[in-house]
A and B are shown apart, each in its own frame.
Chain A
Amino acid sequence: AQTVTQSQPEMSVQEAETVTLSCTYDTSESNYYLFWYKQPPSRQMILVIRQEAYKQQNATENRFSVNFQKAAKSFSLKISDSQLGDTAMYFCAFTNYGGSQGNLIFGKGTKLSVKP
C-alpha cells in the first residue's frame, strides 16, 4: 500500500529562524508527484510547493524549498526566515504518474507554530 508519513505531529520555531518538516512516502513506482500544502487557521488549503520525481533539482518557492531524496523516499520542506503567517498545518501529499490510478494520498500533517 502507498503511504505518506509525517513523523512530527507538532513543531515550533522562532520568528526569522529556519525549520524543516519531514515527510517520507512509500511507493513501488518510479515516477510520481509530491506536494506540500499549508492549512492556516482559516482552514483554507493552499499549495506551497510541488515536485516531479523525475526532476533531480529540488523545487523552491521563495522562502520554501524541498530536499527531495528519491532513493530514501524522503521529501522534506524547509522554511527559511519563518514568519508568523507561516503558522499552520502542513500536509505532504503524493500521487503516482500515469496508469488509471488517480488517487492522492496525504500525510497526517505537522502543526507548525511560529513564535514571536
Chain B
Amino acid sequence: EAQVTQNPRYLITVTGKKLTVTCSQNMNHEYMSWYRQDPGLGLRQIYYSMNVEVTDKGDVPEGYKVSRKEKRNFPLILESPSPNQTSLYFCASSLTQYHEQYFGPGTRLTVT
C-alpha cells in the first residue's frame, strides 16, 4: 500500500530534550516536506527536500533540522525543543512539488 508513515504519532516531552520525528514514504517520490499546523495559522512549511541530499528552508525553519540521506526517509529533528514548538506536524511526499502531496497521519507534539 502506498503511504507516508510518521512516528511517533503522539509525543509529550520537556523543554531542551532532543527528539526526532521519523518520516518514510514507499512511493519513490522525489519531493518531501514537513509542515506544522496550528489553530488559526493553517499549515506552514518547515523544510522541504526536492531530492536526496537537497534540502531547503520553508516559512518557519527556526528550531528545526532535517536530513535526506535516502530517498524514502526525511526525519525532522528538534535539537532543543521549546513550548512554542507544541503543534501538529505533518510529513508529506509527492512526485514533484507540482503534483499531489501525500500526507502522513500527523504527529501531535507537546513540549512542556
Chain A interface (Cβ within 8 Å of chain B)?
Answer: 6, 9, 33, 35, 37, 43-45, 47, 50, 52, 91, 93, 95, 97, 102-109
Contact = CB atoms under 8 A, between A and B. Distances in A.
A103 B100 CA distance: 14
Contact of B100 (A47, A91, A97, A102): A47
Contacts of A102: 31, 48, 50, 56, 97
Contacts of A95: 97-98
Contact of B33 (A44, A91, A104, A108): A104
B45 interface: yes
A44 B45 contact: no
Contacts, number: 55
Interface stretch (B15-23, B36-44, B78-86): B36-44
Nearest to A107: B42
A91 B43 contact: yes
Chain B at the A interface: mostly helix, strand, loop or mixed?
strand
Nearest to B47: A103
Given A50-B100, A102-B56, A103-B56, A43 B48 contact: no
Interface of B: 31, 33, 35, 40-45, 48, 50, 56, 58-59, 88, 90, 92, 97-98, 100-101, 103, 105-106
A106 B48 contact: no
